[in-house]
Structure 1
Amino acid sequence: MILDPLQPGSGTIRSQHYLPATGRNVLWGRLPCAADAAVLEVDSGAEVTIDTLSHEGILEDQGRDPRRFFGSHGVDGDGVLDDAIAIAASDYPRDRASDGPHVVTGPIRIRGAKPGDLLKMTLIEALPRVPYGVISNRHGRGALPGEFPVGIETVSAFAAVDEDADGRRVGTLPLVAAGPRSVRFPLNPFLGIMGVAVSGDTRPHSVPPGPHGGNIDINLLTAGNSLYLPVQVEGALAYVGDPHFAQGDGEVALTAMEASLRVTVRFDVLSQTDALQQFGQLVGPLAETSEFLVPTGMSTDLDEAVQHCVRAAIALLGARYGMDSHLAYAYLSAATDFNISQVVDIVKGVHARIRVADFT
């Protein structure tokens, strides 16, 4: 089990490039745009170790005092992250009514990236910074608005990290409030937010995902896996945030097990020519694992999100393997799972899992 928190600058830092979640390195509630200055610049192929901060425990409806909030769940003051305390106590100009909750670290400029290229972001490592997380339901914004939360504005369930009999880290949640029995579930750390800056001078809200990536919440994007994003501005201006220890497809209660991570991400630029040859004309995020190609679809309407994902999958199979569209449609129906990424971020997400082994 994790004993000591990974405070800024302490503990394991894998890369020669390190970006703490402090000062000017973070945005709170908004995502970068073309007008934002990079806080770090690296070459294509570089790895960067990045501290990320969960928004849970620092928000106004939780008292905006992480020491007090986590202390009420038995966390010693030394077990609370210094950067979380600092941003909660700061006068950061976040408007609760119009800005999102997420803290994002960046943006990072990747030399040579230009519109038309693809940026490949590969999660190399994801280290939990604390041995606990929070799962919240608020704003009537989960899958069951009007039913949950019941009677109060916010329910924030504290989830601890423990070890199972085989020494693997698991999340634990009580079966009843303050009860002795608990349910255990696997931890699969990943970043809910991976993205590139949008064009123009308006920072997007941090909640809805889009062609820029952002809050896509695809739980397949664990260590070793990659996300491809169409570059919109010179240098890409990439960023990460919304760290999770675990999440089920759908993320139905609004958040999953939200908790801060120290991640190492490799940034690779694919030229427009190479991108077209490998993937065709991507209009949105595409994930890749050792087993699957994972096209995505997004819309405020879940039916439309599924349709967008199916069209993206058909186009991908045509570009990648030369597959006729009617046969690709048939193959997808017979052999591919379409999963709901999340239904709680205004713009809903769907992703398909296309087995690459089927085409070897």
Structure 2
Amino acid sequence: MNAEPFTSESYAEGARERAWQEVLGGFGLQALGARSGTPSHARALSRLSALGVRLGTLSADAQSLRPLAGRGGLPLLLMPIETTLVLTLSGETQIVPAGHVVLAPRAGDWQVQFQRSLRALVLSVPAEAFRGRKVAPLAACPPRVFAPEGLADVLARTVQSSAGALDRLGEAEWETVAQSAAELLLALTAELATTRADSSSSRAALLQRLYATVERSIGREDLTIAEVARAEGISDRYLQKLFEGTGESFSHYVRERRLQRAWHDLANPAELAVPISEVAYRYGFADSAHFSRLFRERFGLPPRELRRREAERHDHEAPSSGQRGWPQQALVQLRARQTKAEPDSRRTRVLERTPPPDIPEEVPTHHYLPINAQHVHWGYFSRSLQPLLEIASGDIVTVETLTQHASDDPERMIIGDPGAESVFHWTTTQKAVDRRGAGPMDASVFGRGAGEGFGVHICTGPIAVHGAQPGDVLEVHILDIEPRPSRHPAHAGRVYGSSVAAWWGFHYSEFLSDPHPRETVTIYEIITDTPEPHARAVHAYRWEPQTDPAGVRHALYDYPGVPVRPGTVTLQQGVLEGVRIPLRPHFGVIAVAPREAELVDSVPPAYFGGNLDNWRLGKGATVYLPVSVPGALLSVGDPHAVQGDGELSGTAIECSMTGTFRVTLHKKAETAGTLLADLTYPLIETPEDWVLTGFSHPNYLAEFGADGQSEVYSKSSLDLAMRDAFRKVRRFLMTTRGLSEDEAIALMSAAVDFGITQVVDGNWGVHAILSKRLFPDRN
């Protein structure tokens, strides 16, 4: 994850305090405010590791900070720089000079006051940062100040130098630095606990030293409880009692750590050549068969299967520096295989191994991914989904997609269509697509049925791209879009779509006429066989409560996919009479898998793409997406016949379509000096323009953590989205066109069109359109 900059100047005056509190909340802190009101100035640069370690530099006007209740993990590290702070605990104060380190628990009655200005480094480390390794309960210790000497000085220097390089460290470098800082903080925290006189802190410190001893000796088969106890000068019985107090025995803990360490090595592509038996011996297992049995019992699959799965997600076949392209004999064999497969070109190639990305462009493989219940994930993205296809860079893939709104008119958009019937099949005894949305399977707490979580889009995929790794860029070029015709005998060959004015629309609290509020569904026919393709309304109806096959009553249009039963709604004829809406066919969702969470709501877009809802993503357009997980895991869905900027009422005219895409992988090392260098957001290219996508929260998953998928809905604003779009255009012009900041700002005001992409997707969007004609000599 790239460093996250924050500046209060990006927000309107009334929103600055809230935005600053959100930044501090990421560290488990909250501000008590400046001495004379809310802070008028605040800046931050922070970065979050894959395991939750957050490091940042904070600067603001004078104010006080205290812990934010409800956060867990190691004590926070705060280090004042260029100024002093006052630490207050139980009414007693202590002045802390610049360069000293404060370790303070995540809860308690303490605060730090910056009397002149806030300038500090903050390190936040959750227990999860240690990959399953036990961390003794040390966070209850009171705050303590460490002078810059010994281990505290090593940690302080590490934190300070790392914070200074946050925006320059590569992903792998940052992850290494974050883990090192976490280990140092853990060691210093144990020292903090050792100085306490109470027995609970002494036990916690002793446990931490015992855990460290086990980690150092984990590879020894003959490691015994007596040896570890002797190292700390305690009896075997007391050591066992300490471990039993944590809920497990010493032997169980050692075995668990050995298995976890082996798991990480087997999943590491750099260890692919190491025999499984050697990994077993490395962690104290003398019998490889015994190790395999324990491994399967613990993780649900044998070591060889884990290694195979992980190997398929990494690129182990990069050409040597002395080779350019494949040998001619290999190309002949490749063409022969493709020729044999030609009669069955529409067959789905499930997890097919394809050649490396250096195959000549004149022989791209064409894949076809039809729609059915096994080929979709509904309402969420996930880094853990198994890919349906693996393609090579430059390959072409045709993907069938369905609108999640087909159930608004099942007769026209589902019945008679085997693919649609497969996906939407739902009876009292069976639901073909069980999980529909992020969140728990039992979503009754949200007023929905089993599987009806957050997120709504039917996404076809995912598709793995051979060799894609975090830091690369995926180019998805839309070659063609075809509407999906009805298969119902009464409507065969005609195309239909649906638009919903729903409770999540921008309009919902602004009705003039009764009844209000209300929700309305409008069904359109999509006319394509005319010189001016267009959509025209067929009929509309007000949403009436529907009871789904599982018996759950949906008073509102709360989840697309609930079948509308005939006779339960009153059709209104003659709506939008005489109106013809010109078509803008495009895909609302084109996404790669995000890395921050296991299940991610499909509605809010972000750096990984997702629900972009920009009508410019039509035939002939390209979107560039930063890759954040191995294989990229590309998914496509939410097809639209037409949409206006803003998508005000809640949806576009949603219409099932089939798209054909050319997918190209740009390796990180090859993007330096290009338009794609350090790309951190979805970038759209059309033949005429560059379209830069701004969001209220460019990476809400990192910004808000585990609660981001709900918090982003309440925190979005057009101000934030506009600021983000402005910053991206400024950066684009300065880094790719060589303009100064003043030149970039002047050009933006004169020649860049900013528009509202959408105000209904949780994470509101503003796009900036930069015409290629501005740079006729540099396109």
TM score, norm. by length of structure 2: 0.41
| Greater strand proportion | 1
On the 8 A contact 1:117/1:271 being kept in 2, the answer is yes
Deviations 1:156-206 (A, max 9, x none): 100112368x53321012699412733101112110000101115512101
CA 1:85 to 1:47, structure 2 compared with 1: closer, same or farther past 3 Å?
A: same
CA distance in 2 between counterparts of 1:272 and 1:150 reads: 55
**Which residue number in structure 2 is paired with residue 93 of structure 1?**
435
Unpaired runs of at least 5, structure 1 = 1-8, 63-68
CA RMSD of aligned residues (A): 2.4
Deviations 1:6-63 (A, max 9, x none): xxx79xxxx8311112132100111132x221110000011100000100033xxx4x
Unpaired runs of at least 5, structure 2 = 1-345, 348-364, 437-442, 486-494, 541-571, 697-715
CA distance in 2 between counterparts of 1:175 and 1:264 reads: 31
On the 8 A contact 1:158/1:173 being kept in 2, the answer is yes
**Which residue number in structure 2 is paired with residue 297 of structure 1?**
694
CA distance in 2 between counterparts of 1:151 and 1:321 reads: 51
CA distance in 1 between counterparts of 2:612 and 2:421 reads: 26
On the 8 A contact 2:468/2:632 being kept in 1, the answer is yes
Alignment map for 1:331-346 (pairs within 5 Å): 331-346=747-762
**Equivalent of 2:395, from 33, 46, 71?**
46
CA distance in 1 between counterparts of 2:538 and 2:614 reads: 26
Q: Could you tell me which amino acid in structure 2 is paired with residue 142 of structure 1?
A: G
CA distance in 2 between counterparts of 1:269 and 1:262 reads: 22
**Which residue number in structure 1 is paired with residue 371 of structure 2?**
21
TM-superposed deviation, 1:287: 0.5
TM-superposed deviation, 1:153: 5.5
In the alignment, does 2:601 pair up with 1:185?
no
TM-superposed deviation, 1:319: 1.8
Aligned to 2:381, what secondary structure does the other structure show? Answer: coil
CA distance in 1 between counterparts of 2:418 and 2:397 reads: 21
CA distance in 2 between counterparts of 1:201 and 1:288 reads: 29
On the 8 A contact 1:278/1:319 being kept in 2, the answer is no
CA distance in 2 between counterparts of 1:32 and 1:325 reads: 38
In the alignment, does 2:745 pair up with 1:349?
no
Aligned to 2:380, what secondary structure does the other structure show? Answer: coil
In the alignment, does 2:530 pair up with 1:156?
no
CA distance in 2 between counterparts of 1:310 and 1:267 reads: 29
CA distance in 1 between counterparts of 2:531 and 2:772 reads: 32
**Which residue number in structure 1 is paired with residue 404 of structure 2?**
55
TM-superposed deviation, 1:247: 0.5
CA distance in 2 between counterparts of 1:274 and 1:292 reads: 23
Q: Could you tell me which amino acid in structure 1 is paired with residue 694 of structure 2?
A: G
Aligned to 2:406, what secondary structure does the other structure show? Answer: coil
TM-superposed deviation, 1:145: 2.3
- Percent identity reads 34
CA distance in 2 between counterparts of 1:76 and 1:145 reads: 27
CA distance in 1 between counterparts of 2:731 and 2:669 reads: 17
Alignment map for 1:268-279 (pairs within 5 Å): 268-279=664-675
CA distance in 2 between counterparts of 1:99 and 1:262 reads: 25
Alignment map for 1:221-236 (pairs within 5 Å): 221-236=617-632
**Which residue number in structure 2 is paired with residue 145 of structure 1?**
508
Alignment map for 1:81-230 (pairs within 5 Å): 81-90=417-426, 91=431, 92-94=434-436, 95=443, 96=448, 98-130=453-485, 131-138=495-502, 140-147=503-510, 150-151=515-516, 154-162=519-527, 167-173=531-537, 177-179=572-574, 181-199=577-595, 202-230=598-626
**Which residue number in structure 2 is paired with residue 246 of structure 1?**
642
**Which residue number in structure 2 is paired with residue 4 of structure 1?**
none
Paired residues, number? 333
TM-superposed deviation, 1:128: 0.3
On the 8 A contact 2:590/2:636 being kept in 1, the answer is yes
On the 8 A contact 1:134/1:259 being kept in 2, the answer is yes
Aligned to 2:579, what secondary structure does the other structure show? Answer: strand
| Greater helix proportion | 2
Aligned to 1:49, what secondary structure does the other structure show? Answer: strand
CA distance in 2 between counterparts of 1:325 and 1:151 reads: 49
Highest Rg: 1 or 2?
Answer: 2
